[in-house]
Amino acid sequence: MDELSYEDVSDIRALLALFSHVFDNREIGDLHRVFTEDAVIELRRGAGRLVEGLPAIAEFSAVLGPDGPDHQTLDSHIFVDDDGTVRARSRYLAILLDGSVHNGDYLDELARTPEGWRISRRVSVPRYPRNGG
């Protein structure tokens, strides 16, 4: 795939926005609308964490509970690598229960599925507070 259509870009932007709504509201039954079944989330905050597969992502979302961070996805740049891999790089702000904020980048790999675009891999890289990673 060399280029994305306007419809592809629009659909991917809608997908990236949908993540915050589904994940933060613990709409576990709708996570399949955001992630592939075998999706991986790599968190590089603190000691880091790898969450592999849709069932593990659902459990991770549920465990955060109602006091988990409130995510805002911003300034997404969508592009295609030379090998055809579709990627997005987005900034995020996460507002914590105490009002503090941390921010960083989401580095996503995207897959076109029969149901539409989905995130197949997400790496969450914090900017502040810095963790040396």
Q: Check if the beta carbon of residue 85 is closer than 8 Å to that of residue 49.
A: no
3-state class (DSSP) for residue 15? helix
Q: Which CATH number does the domain housing residue 35 bear? A: 3.10.450.50
| Residue 43 included in any domain | yes
Q: Check if the beta carbon of residue 54 is closer than 8 Å to that of residue 31.
A: yes
Give the pLDDT band (50/70/90) at residue 128. Answer: confident
Give the pLDDT band (50/70/90) at residue 64. Answer: confident
Q: What is the pLDDT of residue 42?
A: 97
3-state class (DSSP) for residue 55? helix
| Residue 61 included in any domain | yes
Amino acid type, 16:
L
| Residue 133 included in any domain | no
Whether residue 68 is predicted with pLDDT greater than 80 in this model: the reply is: yes
Whether residue 132 is predicted with pLDDT greater than 60 in this model: the reply is: no
| Residue 118 included in any domain | yes
| Residue 100 included in any domain | yes
Q: What is the pLDDT of residue 112?
A: 97
Non-local (6+) Cβ contacts of 29 within 8 A are: none
Q: Which domain holds residue 85?
A: 6-128
Q: Note the pLDDT tens digit of each residue in 9-53.
A: 999 999 999 999 999 888 999 999 999 999 999 999 888 899 999
Pairing of strands 70-80, 116-128: unpaired
**Count of domains observed in the chain:** 1
| Residue 52 included in any domain | yes
Q: Note the pLDDT tens digit of each residue in 75-124.
A: 999 999 999 999 999 999 999 999 999 899 999 999 999 999 999 999 99
| Residue 98 included in any domain | yes
Q: What is the pLDDT of residue 45?
A: 82
